[in-house]
Amino acid sequence: MEDFEKLGVFYLGRQYDLSSNQRAGLLLYDSKDLVTHGVCVGMTGSGKTGLCIGILEEAALDSVPAIVIDPKGDLADLMLTFPDLKAEDFRPWISEEEAAKKGLTPDQFAQQQAETWRKGLADWGQDSSRIRRLRDACDLTIYTPGSTAGIPVSIIKSFAAPAPSVREDEEALHDRISTAATSILGLVGLAADPIRSREHILLSNLFDSFWSAGRDLDLAGLIQQVQTPPFAKVGMLDLDAFYPEKERFELAMLLNNLLAAPTFQTWLEGEPLDIGRMLFTAGGRPRVSIFSIAHLSDAERMFFVSLLLNEVLGWVRSQSGTGSLRALLYMDEIFGFFPPVAEPPSKKPLLTLLKQARAFGVGVLLATQNPVDLDYKGLANAGTWFIGRLQTEGDKNRLLEGLEGVAADAATKFDRQEMEETLAGLGNRIFLMYNAHEDEPVVFQTRWTMSYLCGPLTRNQIKMLMDKRRPELSEAPTPQTSPVTASSAVAPAAGPAVGPAAVLMSQLAGSRDAGQPPTIPAEIPQFFLPLRGALAEGSTLVYQPGVLAAATVSFVNSDTGAASTIKVRRMAQAPESSLAVNWDAATDVESPPEDLERSPVQNATLAPLPPAK
């Protein structure tokens, strides 16, 4: 049997001869090629979802974490892996309607599906042990923003001031401000133009005023600021001449109705939209985070996807550069999110990711069945194209135009007539791979997926899957997201690496008034863990002092020469003496240094520091 279990390569299937309809040698794809992004295009039934799920499976086997945006509900099938391939494992997920059409009982149909999967895997050289390795390689979690079916997601952090790296980049900050304003206004039904809309200009100025100063602005605060902005002029006009107070009140009422709606409360509960946390568990295990948004309205989808893409972009910019695949962002259907002419709020952060994420080892993989809706100028940044069967001549012509542009940018040969003939011969699960890193295109048949592809999962089915995980996730150590307490961390000014704890702690000052940051020497910077989620009514936020240690640890395999690095951030409780820092009892800090706050939350209480000794 040919060996496809190699680190750094993805087993996608086998090369395929269209003239003889025969499989040939293995198709192994270098994972580093996906750093220059990929696009998958194919009509319904072409096998597009199976191919992309196969890519995600291969990435997970290589411990590459992924953010997966699932507008249709198909990607939750990644949770359906059954190493024992027993009929009873398949039974809860089969379609009883399909079973009835085939004249089978549900149990008989489940047995048939189990046998089909066992045979399909064997035909492609896979077995139960590979499924077990997939399950052991990563954590899989389904998040459902605006719903409690899966793990709900809180958007509160998404309106916090961006990291310093973003604030210091004027273009990046303005892009994020524009996206935030457009997304919020779209959620209340206002299609606002950034140049002509007073609503958009007002919100943009408010975000700019707060974020430039490093101050957070949540939705409740935004409503108050709309009524009483912290500035008297907008451009050269007085505020009331530009946007009279009475009309600003109408906008505030619109936003308040959104905040007051019972259905919107779900958006404020659950896990914080923290990309580092979505990519790795508290123990450092890679995670595939599936954001299922099929239940949302079009406006809600656009709102959430725009916020998520901006959070991903912020995380990307905080990483060090690398040429290997560090993480993957996959969106199953980008129809409407990346159009050729319109400028929805999702387009700018997605385009920026396509241009910049490669330098940081983050690959973007986009899929669609509607080629005519793609901005091919933007997608010229993609180095790999997976093309399946297309529905119309218009789709084919539009795609060929895009490929010509990609070939021109890559300075590679492109034979339009030959490509047209190849596309005409593609069938189910047969794809053409055009890879800018290879000499010529390759036709291949996709391998059998290890995940059971039962189609879109309902909210009840997602709930069934995630109910087993809720206790595990709620018990995970996440001190920075506590609704009642948070910690303040102190680190030396010399950078992320921390010096001897004894030197650090010996300089700490004594007690101070509650609510006021401690007075300590200027050379010791002081940070506060960001608050995630909302405080329960009547509760008080208490900051506890601690010592923060941060380091980058590099590993090199002496046999293969492969290198990897991990970032370690640990916080120990403030000791009673300068020589008693207990690092064995320290906890992981998932927030990167640039996300730490410079001041405590208003009205919070600060526990006293230990006395200097």
537 within 8 A of 479, measured Cβ to Cβ: no
Identify which of 137, 91, 141 has the alpha carbon closest to the alpha carbon of residue 114.
91
- Give the tokens for residue 573: 């409780």
Question: Which residues of the chain fall below pLDDT 50?
Answer: 1, 477-514
pLDDT of 149 reads 92
pLDDT of 261 reads 83
484 within 8 A of 113, measured Cβ to Cβ: no
**CA-to-CA distance for 27 and 10, rounded, in angstroms?**
8
What 3-state DSSP class applies to 121?
helix
Residue 468: phi, psi to the nearest 5?
-70, -25
Identify which of 336, 322, 397 has the alpha carbon closest to the alpha carbon of residue 366.
336
**CA-to-CA distance for 526 and 547, rounded, in angstroms?**
10
Domains of the chain (ranges, CATH numbers) = 9-152+283-472 (3.40.50.300), 156-265 (no CATH), 478-606 (no CATH)
DSSP-assigned beta bridge partners for residue 546: 489, 573
Identify which of 448, 442, 450 has the alpha carbon closest to the alpha carbon of residue 28.
442
pLDDT of 558 reads 72
370 within 8 A of 361, measured Cβ to Cβ: no
The vertex-280 CA angle with 278 and 286, nearest 5°, equals 115
How much is the pTM?
0.73
pLDDT of 513 reads 43
423 within 8 A of 438, measured Cβ to Cβ: no
Query: What is the per-residue DSSP string for 318-375?
Result: TSPP-SS--EEEEES--TTTS-SS---TTHHHHHHHHHHGGGGTEEEEEEES-GGGS-
Cα torsion 125, 129, 131, 135: sign: negative
Q: What pLDDT, in 10s, does the model give residues 505-562?
A: 222 333 334 455 665 655 577 788 877 656 666 677 788 888 888 887 877 777 666 6
Which residues touch 560 (CB under 8 Å, ≥6 apart)?
7
Q: What pLDDT, in 10s, does the model give residues 390-412?
A: 888 888 888 887 777 767 666 66
72 within 8 A of 294, measured Cβ to Cβ: yes
Determine the longest span between alpha carbons in the chain, in angstroms. Answer: 83
**CA-to-CA distance for 10 and 433, rounded, in angstroms?**
14
pLDDT of 258 reads 85
pLDDT of 219 reads 85
pLDDT of 128 reads 93
Cα 468–chain centre separation: 23
Identify which of 152, 147, 43, 187 has the alpha carbon closest to the alpha carbon of residue 458.
147
- Give the tokens for residue 47: 């096998």
Identify which of 245, 176, 164 has the alpha carbon closest to the alpha carbon of residue 207.
176
112 within 8 A of 99, measured Cβ to Cβ: no
pLDDT of 482 reads 29
336 within 8 A of 293, measured Cβ to Cβ: no
Number of residues assigned to the chain = 613
Q: Count Cβ atoms below 10 Å from residue 410 Cβ, excluding itself.
A: 16
Residue 131: phi, psi to the nearest 5?
-65, -40
Q: Count Cβ atoms below 10 Å from residue 511 Cβ, excluding itself.
A: 12
Q: What pLDDT, in 10s, does the model give residues 321-372?
A: 888 999 999 999 998 999 988 889 899 999 999 999 999 999 999 999 888 7
pLDDT of 535 reads 63
3-state secondary structure 268-305: HCCEECCHHHHHECCCCCEEEEEEECCCCCHHHHHHHH
pLDDT of 504 reads 27
216 within 8 A of 197, measured Cβ to Cβ: no
pLDDT of 13 reads 96
226 secondary structure, DSSP code: H
Identify which of 531, 527, 511, 529 has the alpha carbon closest to the alpha carbon of residue 519.
511
DSSP-assigned beta bridge partners for residue 360: none
DSSP-assigned beta bridge partners for residue 201: none
